[in-house]
Structure 1
Amino acid sequence: MSRRSFIQHSAWGALALTLPKPSSLFQSSQMGIVVHSYASRWNSKTPSSTFPGFTNALDLMQHCHQIGAGGIQVVVRDWGDEFSKKVRSQREKWDMYLEGSISLPRTAEDVSRFEQDVKNAKEAGAQVLRTVCMNGRRYESLKTAQEFQEFKKNAIQSLQWAEPVVRKHKVKLAVENHKDWRATELAATMRQLDSPWVGVTLDFGNSIALLEKPMEVVQTLLPFLMSTHVKDMGVQEYDDGFLLSEVPLGEGILDLPAIVALCQKQNPTVTFNLEMITRDPLKIPCLQPEYWATMAEVSGAEAAAIIRMIREKKSKTDLPVLSDKTVEERLNIEEKNILESLNFSRKTLKLT
């Protein structure tokens, strides 16, 4: 979709036209976009003339270029050599960066698949590959302390299979704090691996779900910083704990300027990747016994500090709910949230 077509068709375009310098909305920015920011449009099966779905990395990159993002972080899986070269050509044409999002090998036999994905991502121009050790959330996926220990064992094994591959191909593998590892656990795993090719994708807000203060997470994981997921978080109490929701940058509880400054000081070449997921608030049931099955190391003082933070910083209005919206309404809100966040990144975070 062209810029002109986007402004004409999107309800959000009306706000873009009110800016003193409309072109500034679309100028190049160091802030890139994580594919999950477009959860509704990525591989969308719902036709929309205003917000057509993205079928692959080329579609996503084209749109992100049009709205002024500096790059993308996108899933790399089963790319062929020809497709990787097309991505590289488009990326170089627009002077955008590319980071891959890649699945770890789960068995020794899966290492060959992992290596092929690494090679394809590197051919396309990626030097950093974000990954996760668990696709779900710790307090939902794991029911016992023994299950967490098994997860930890398997995750470390997967990383040990992956490390020689990324070292061979000279690309960096960045593990996200994905509501699975607490920061101290992930840091300990990085020290155990002790590889310059394996580090961390620092997600600014995820670890609140594991009762961790955001700035303490940042300080703990900074030594291993290779990439980021930039987001802001809104919070509110509910009967079983608290609600946690991504909100447009600047509307939540995180000290984004301070976090960005710390990241830049630690790693001047680090990328800042917007992960503005437009969805219903997540329920963090920290007042239910089941939540604590894998969280025995969390002290009462730590839990109390997070509950106090939630009460002091809770959103003054209800957190946004998307499940009661039409598909077209969700798509419009998703784009609006991303554009607002990019604008904040330029004006306040100075990522231009």
Structure 2
Amino acid sequence: MTAYGISTYAYFWRFSGRAPEPMTLTAMLQDTAELGGQVFQICDYAPIESYDAAQLADVRATAEDLGLRLELGTRGIRTAHLDKYLDMAGRLGVTLVRSMLNTVDHQPSVDEATALLKESVPRYADAGVTLGLETYEQVATGDLLTVVRAVDDPHLGVVLDPGNSVARLERPVDVVAATAPYVVNIHVKDFSFTRRDGWVGFTYAGCPLGEGLLDYDGMVAAVRAARPEHADGINQIVEHWLPWQDEGFDTTARLEHQWTQHSITTLLSDTSTTPARSK
């Protein structure tokens, strides 16, 4: 069954350095459960890499007590790094790890990325863990798919977030159509353009789910049509691009909570069709 959940990115400002008391991972798990989430994706959350075995066991136990599944997210595909996350996945009971091809100090070519993943993905497969590579502006969607096809393993797929690729001048509808047969996880994040003061350019940022340019209905329908035998196992994870508010932390945190609550409630309100309106 598809699970609907929340990512650490939905708590971005509340655990950031701008928070008077940054939100803990335990608090995020508890909030996710209270909002009705079924899965929590610990994504690009640097502190998790320093957790010892006992701390990871505590996170797993907390999630299990709250009735939550866990997923992991990181960046990079170097062998040692992916091995580290595979070990953490085992300790946390995780069956999906999201990553990205590039890091600050490593931007592999298609050939190098393919070679690295051909080494790591079989170990993920042996452990029953799927590795998903996210769509984003630093890597052309065509190149990302070339790597996935070349590795040719069902335990390597795509984490679909069509809004990310707009900065590469890739249309979301095209990204969805191209990646749909390989999608293993979906980030649900709405987005819109607004004119800047004086009509000097645009701001491209997040907005509440259903109010922007994300064609949620079309995205989910495309993935379900392309992967009918896997569609019920593709989890949907709430994220945001909420800009910092001029009024300060309290206003920003309140909006972040409202957006998260709205998104997960919308997703859970009708799990048999498609809850958000197409744009």
TM-score above 0.5, yes or no: yes
| Residue equivalent to 2:255 | 333
Q: Percentage identity across aligned positions?
A: 23
| Residue equivalent to 1:250 | 210
Change in Cα spacing, 1:45 to 1:251, as seen in structure 2 (3 Å) is: closer
* Secondary structure at 1:219 match in 2: helix
Q: Give the Cα–Cα distance (whole angstroms) in 2 for the partners of residues 43 and 251 of structure 1.
A: 26
Report whether the alignment pairs 1:225 with 2:183.
Answer: yes
1:204–1:232: 8 Å Cα contact kept in structure 2? Answer: no
Change in Cα spacing, 1:152 to 1:112, as seen in structure 2 (3 Å) is: closer
| Residue equivalent to 1:68 | 36
TM-score, normalised by the number of residues in structure 2: 0.82
2:113–2:147: 8 Å Cα contact kept in structure 1? Answer: no
Deviation string for 1:184-238 (max 9, x for gaps)?
Answer: 2211111111122211101131112211221221111011111111111112456
Residue in structure 2 matching 1:55, options 24, 29, 36? 24
Q: Give the Cα–Cα distance (whole angstroms) in 2 for the partners of residues 333 and 222 of structure 1.
A: 31
Please state how far the C-alpha of 1:54 moved relative to its aligned partner. Answer: 2.3
Change in Cα spacing, 1:162 to 1:323, as seen in structure 2 (3 Å) is: farther
2:110–2:143: 8 Å Cα contact kept in structure 1? Answer: no
Greater RCO, 1 or 2 (C-alpha within 8 Å, sep 6+): 2
| Residue equivalent to 1:8 | none
Deviation string for 1:15-56 (max 9, x for gaps)?
Answer: xxxxxxxxxxxxxx9421111121111254632xxxx53233
| Residue equivalent to 1:32 | 5
1:263–1:270: 8 Å Cα contact kept in structure 2? Answer: no
Q: Which amino acid aligns with 1:79?
A: Y
Deviation string for 1:59-88 (max 9, x for gaps)?
Answer: 321111112211111045233222222222
Q: Give the Cα–Cα distance (whole angstroms) in 1 for the partners of residues 122 and 3 of structure 2.
A: 30
Q: Which amino acid aligns with 2:193?
A: V
Q: Give the Cα–Cα distance (whole angstroms) in 1 for the partners of residues 63 and 14 of structure 2.
A: 21
| Residue equivalent to 1:268 | 232
Superposed CA RMSD in Å reads 2.8
Please state how far the C-alpha of 1:153 moved relative to its aligned partner. Answer: 4.9
Residue in structure 2 matching 1:191, options 128, 139, 149? 149
Q: Give the Cα–Cα distance (whole angstroms) in 2 for the partners of residues 327 and 157 of structure 1.
A: 44
1:61–1:71: 8 Å Cα contact kept in structure 2? Answer: no
1:264–1:270: 8 Å Cα contact kept in structure 2? Answer: no
Q: Which amino acid aligns with 2:192?
A: G
Q: Which amino acid aligns with 2:207?
A: V
Change in Cα spacing, 1:135 to 1:38, as seen in structure 2 (3 Å) is: farther
Change in Cα spacing, 1:178 to 1:190, as seen in structure 2 (3 Å) is: same
Change in Cα spacing, 1:349 to 1:204, as seen in structure 2 (3 Å) is: farther
Q: How many equivalent pairs are there?
A: 263
Matches within 5 A, 1:1-352: 30-44=3-17, 46-47=19-20, 52-56=21-25, 58-74=26-42, 75=45, 76-106=48-78, 111-135=79-103, 151-236=109-194, 242-265=202-225, 266=227, 267-279=231-243, 322-347=244-269
Deviation string for 1:3-23 (max 9, x for gaps)?
Answer: xxxxxxxxxxxxxxxxxxxxx
1:179–1:209: 8 Å Cα contact kept in structure 2? Answer: yes
Contiguous gaps of at least 5 residues in structure 1: 1-28, 142-146, 280-321
Q: Which amino acid aligns with 1:134?
A: N
Q: Give the Cα–Cα distance (whole angstroms) in 2 for the partners of residues 105 and 259 of structure 1.
A: 27
TM-score, normalised by the number of residues in structure 1: 0.67
